[in-house]
Homo-oligomer: A and B are copies of this chain.
Amino acid sequence: MRLSRFFAPTLKENPTEAQVVSHRLMLRAGMIRQHTAGIYNWLPLGTRVLQNVARIIREEQDAAGAQEIIMPTIQSADLWRESGRYDDYGAEMLRIKDRHERDMLYGPTHEEVVTDIFRNNVKSYRDLPTNLYQINWKFRDEVRPRFGLMRGREFLMKDAYSFDIDYASARHSYNQMFVAYLRTFARMGLRAIPMVAESGPIGGDLSHEFIVLADTGESAVYCHKAYLDKPIPENVDYGADLTSIVQDWTSLYSATDEKHDAGKAAELGADLISARGIEVGQTFYLGKKYSTPLGAKVVGADGNSVDVEMGCYGIGVSRCVAAIIEASHDENGIVWPDSVAPFHVGIINLKVGDTACDEACEKLHRALGLQGYDALYDDRDERAGVKFADMDLIGIPWQIVVGPKGIAKGIVELKRRATGLKEEITPEGALAKLGATI
């Protein structure tokens, strides 16, 4: 992609409305633009990152045995009256009347809808366990939207819902999602720590929030410092018993503010981390909170009807993008982890119009494309300083800088955004190194 043709309106100045670094950098890098309070447009750069984050989530959900569906954003209020939540759910629910004056709403969550799908289509224990997930837009009418994507009103969410015949099976489903979450966040470069949490308006009596530590986090959190470098489970067999992995990740102290036990925490001494945190996901064991009022039951092996056990599991997809920036940036801009970067490589042409530079850049651009890498080629007629600043701001993991002096000697500069390390190398050498690295 040529930057001269790419729609990425960067800003030189810090926008005054942005209070947190992720919001500021997403605006400055031209990733997003506000449409109205708490509602954003995703420009091409932001869209690419959001899709990469969603892809990782999707791959890990699929690997854990969940199946993707799509539920509507606009729901009928009837199901919420059945579950008893229509009146309970506060002003954050966007309530709508359609042209026939029927009560509708923009889904803030989908327990009712998915339970309705289940009860209408599954009748036998043989079809269990089932775990259905979607990645779709939700709306919560925050009274005071702020911090950009951190507390927006329209946001992209992954929500999964598990259905099981009994508690033991439901716990296994919970554990599958728990382990998938550890892997999911790690793959996008986030260290997310599971913390015992309140289940709030979703309900249920077992819940973990997955929290990324960051100074700009909205809530106080506490955990053992061993969580910071705990190895992430690999080559997981999701069919096997996952209890030991989950126990390993829940045996050390960790808690959100509401669940914090100061006495217990004090026992950790110097091992206690007391910090601010950003919630990027939450898991809930729901039991029969929805299945009983909505009548989601199956016939068991013994011929008796039983209300199914449920769990639900959310990830704030758009919020993850902000959390990644909060966790990975410097004074010059964003530092994307390779796995979610909008482009793998940036090519900077220091002298557009110079035949040798143009040819070398075009050749690199083509070669990277053939190797399957997305490259962003800065072919604009701009000063070198502007190009360096924009490429750092956008945060592409690798930069290849092509200048007339170097190219006369057959040399380009390969820079790693994260470390700032630069290396003089031939174009072929740069391609080989990227091929082996990305």
Point out residues on A near B: beta carbons under 8 Å.
5-7, 9, 30, 33, 35-36, 39-44, 46-48, 50, 65, 67-76, 78, 91-92, 94, 96, 98-99, 106, 113, 116-117, 120-122, 127, 130, 132, 136-137, 139, 141, 143, 153-154
Name A120's closest neighbour in chain B (CB-CB): B33
Known: A69-B42, A98-B94, A113-B41. A75 touches B35 (CB 8 A): yes
B67 close to A6 (CB less than 8 A): yes
> Which B residues lie within 8 Å of A120 (CB)?
33
Q: How far is the CA of A130 from the CA of B8 in the complex (A)?
A: 11
Report yes or no: A117 in contact with B40, Cβ–Cβ below 8 A.
no
Inter-chain CA distance A30–B113, complex, in Å, is 16
Q: Which residue of B has the minimal Cβ distance to A11? A: B121
Residue on B nearest A121 in the bound complex, by CB: B9
Given contacts A7-B130, A9-B122, A47-B68, contact A99 B143 (CB under 8 A): yes
Asked whether, in the complex, the Cβ of A44 is within 8 Å of the Cβ of B71, the reply is: no
CB distance from A109 to the nearest CB of B (A): 15
Query: What distance in Å separates the Cβ of A258 from its nearest Cβ neighbour in chain B?
Result: 24
Output the least CB separation between A77 and chain B (Å): 10
Give chain B residues whose Cβ lies under 8 Å from the Cβ of A69: 7, 41-44, 47
> What is the count of identical protomers in the complex?
2
- In whole angstroms, how far apart are the Cα atoms of A29 and B50 in the complex? 32
Partner of A76, one of B35, B44, B113: B35
Name A40's closest neighbour in chain B (CB-CB). Answer: B72
| A33 proximity list for chain B (CB < 8 A) | 117, 120-121
**How far does the Cβ of A125 sit from chain B's closest Cβ, in whole Å?**
13
Please indicate the chain B residues that have their CB under 8 angstroms from the CB of A74 in the complex.
39, 94, 106, 139, 153-154
What's the minimum C-beta distance from A58 to chain B, rounded to whole angstroms?
10
Residues of B within 8 A of A46 (CB): 70
Expressed in whole angstroms, the Cα–Cα distance for A120 and B35 within the complex equals: 11
Complexed CA–CA distance, A42 and B69 (Å): 5
Q: How far is the CA of A50 from the CA of B70 in the complex (A)?
A: 10
Known: A35-B72, A40-B72, A106-B106. 17 other contacts (CB 8 A): A6-B67, A33-B117, A33-B121, A35-B76, A36-B75, A36-B78, A39-B75, A41-B72, A43-B69, A43-B117, A44-B67, A44-B132, A47-B68, A72-B137, A72-B154, A73-B137, A74-B94
In Å, the complex CA distance between A73 and B7 comes to 21
Q: Which residues of B contact A117 (CB under 8 A)?
A: 33, 41, 43
- Give A121 to B32 CA distance when docked, in angstroms: 11
Residue of B nearest to A129 (CB): B5
A80 to chain B, nearest CB (A): 12
Interchain residue pairs A-B with the least CB separation, the first 9 = A42-B70, A9-B121, A36-B76, A44-B67, A91-B99, A39-B72, A99-B141, A72-B154, A96-B96
**What are 7 contact pairs spanning A and B, CB under 8 A?**
A7-B69, A9-B121, A35-B75, A44-B68, A46-B70, A73-B73, A73-B137
- What distance in Å separates the Cβ of A363 from its nearest Cβ neighbour in chain B? 19
